[in-house]
Chains A and B, each alone.
Chain A
């Protein structure tokens, strides 16, 4: 019999029972909640007179529609100007009190984007099953946890039962062989993968990311990769546990200590796919072929190397795909065939659960240091992923580097990634964004998003258009 994949192991260790109809009951170790997808779930519990199965297995924070300006944030929840956003954040606060769920409220120094603070606090641990009413929950898979997004009905289901009814996904291995070239980051790797397999390439699968290039990434870089598994259609992305993972978790506030730590670390070292494990699909990429990526269209699969051109749909034989590309070019206001580096930008956004961790901010700061934002850039935002990331960046003087270059230094939150708050693109504006989705209207009505790495976004801020970050000398 073939060995087990990491996904098989995580599935089997959490299998409560197989049900008669071919589905399975899977135990959930940790459930994150935020203000947007939870109110209706709490209301459901109230209406049915139900209580959380295990309140301590939940953790909440408001992130999606919190403001990021110092002025609004200095007054906590009362400072939120948008009345409907304020009601939603307050509802989360009161629901957490009512149901006994721990929450990092908006003014807690540990507050931040839920997918940043989970690993940062050591709430996210290897070997866990983790869910959240947010599709980017796949981020936590970077620590060898089985993590995926769910809808609000399932949020209520997990609160009430600590379980989900699931059908096991298929196993896919995406192997990135060899070493990345300098200037090529985790974001470029995952964009290249999505460009390769397509936005539905991983539908029905759990993707394990492996190979030398993935192993060489920091744990934060692996989070960037797993974060965007959903953009390839896979609910969950995972990376095998190694010494880097264990080192990352050690000493974090919610991580085990003493003898329990030793016991946990032993168990975690087994969280790798067996050498003889069989995958339903295997995709291989060569790291050396990957160059910095820029998305040009309205789906994350519409990416091109920064050295390349916007594709010409006329050359496509598949009619559906050709129409899709034509629609995208029309929305983006781009002509087929133009060089990626000729795309002029209006705004820059550095942040989101994909790229707002300290390493991301360091990479961006290194590029803008001693330079100025180009005059055609109306606004360049840097939004750290958490209060602690912000504090660390300030300790390192990164905030000064950004503000001296003309970028704005904001308070933590999801911000312009989904633009639920006031941080939005204007109609027709092009934005170099470190976020995860370039869908129509995602960052604002009529806004045009280009997905890039933090270093590429920083370089674009300085030049006003895309440039190859590998050609920039760091000051």
Chain B
């Protein structure tokens, strides 16, 4: 799995609350059976003026000039600054796949939806929760200063602003460990194989109907 250690990059301010996973990647692109190639359709309905079709070449599509990501100053961004409840809605992992494929390595917001949070960790994307007033300040600074970048460092759990201010952030130890080491969590879980088998045997004794459904 992909690691996250640090990221020093340009910041995109997406000033919109409750960004849902349909907004991040609309459903017509979910027909792919691959994990890659979703970046060109990230935020498709806000980003382009026409209706996006799966497998279409996006290079000639009309861009929405009002959508923040289309402004030239935000070319090459890798940190997304967002509002509360980012990633709500569907459990589609295509949302983090699209963010990753576009080049985002880190998202900062006051809050995230639960399923989306897990899905990002599985894809080496660091989600940082900060207090609303700090997020507000970062929005102002990003918007006011072209080329605004942040340096995110996971081992020390700090974000450093261009003028040297350090902002500390919290992260659960388990998630930090997975991100820093890029661990394959299936292999990790299978290290507990004996425990799972022992649990299963006991559970079958206790609830045999769960192991005897027809055809199972």
Q: What residues of chain A have their CB less than 8 Å away from a CB belonging to chain B? A: 13-14, 16-17, 19, 21-23, 25, 27, 29-30, 36-37, 39-40, 43, 48, 50, 53-54, 56-57, 64-65, 82, 84-85, 87-88, 91, 102, 122-123, 125, 127-128, 133-135, 148-154, 156-157, 160-163, 165, 167, 169, 199-200, 203-204, 230, 233-235, 253-254, 256, 260-261, 263-264, 267, 299, 320-321, 323-324, 327, 418-420, 427, 437, 439-442, 445-446
Contacts and interface: CB of A to CB of B under 8 A. Distances in A.
A368 to B, nearest CB: 29
Contact of B22 (A17, A165, A254, A442): A442
A57 B91 CA distance: 21
Contacts of A84: 31-32, 54-55
B122 interface: yes
Contact of B18 (A88, A102, A199): A199
Interface in B82-139: 83-85, 88-93, 96, 111, 113-115, 118-119, 122-123
8 contacts: A50-B186, A56-B211, A135-B90, A151-B118, A161-B186, A230-B115, A439-B89, A445-B52
A87 B55 CA distance: 14
Interface in B181-216: 185-186, 188-190, 192, 195-196, 199-200, 203, 207-216
Contacts of A148: 115
B174 interface: yes
B213 A254 contact: yes
A420 B94 CA distance: 14
B17 A36 contact: no
A134 B199 CA distance: 26
A445 B51 contact: yes
Interface in B6-54: 15-18, 20, 22-23, 26-28, 30-35, 45, 51-52, 54
Interface of B: 15-18, 20, 22-23, 26-28, 30-35, 45, 51-52, 54-55, 83-85, 88-93, 96, 111, 113-115, 118-119, 122-123, 172-174, 177, 185-186, 188-190, 192, 195-196, 199-200, 203, 207-216
A219 B28 CA distance: 33
B85 A203 contact: yes
A87 B32 CA distance: 9
A22 B174 contact: yes
Contacts of A85: 31
Given A200-B111, A440-B22, A442-B22, A134 B189 contact: no
A11 B179 CA distance: 26
**Which of A22, A91, A440 has the most CB atoms of chain B within a 10 A radius of its CB?**
A440
A200 B189 contact: no
Contact of B189 (A36, A64, A128, A157): A157
**Which of B27, B92, B123, B190 has the most CB atoms of chain A within a 10 A radius of its CB?**
B27
A96 to B, nearest CB: 12
A56 B204 CA distance: 14
Contact of B114 (A203, A254, A327): A203
**Which of B45, B89, B209 has the most CB atoms of chain A within a 10 A radius of its CB?**
B209
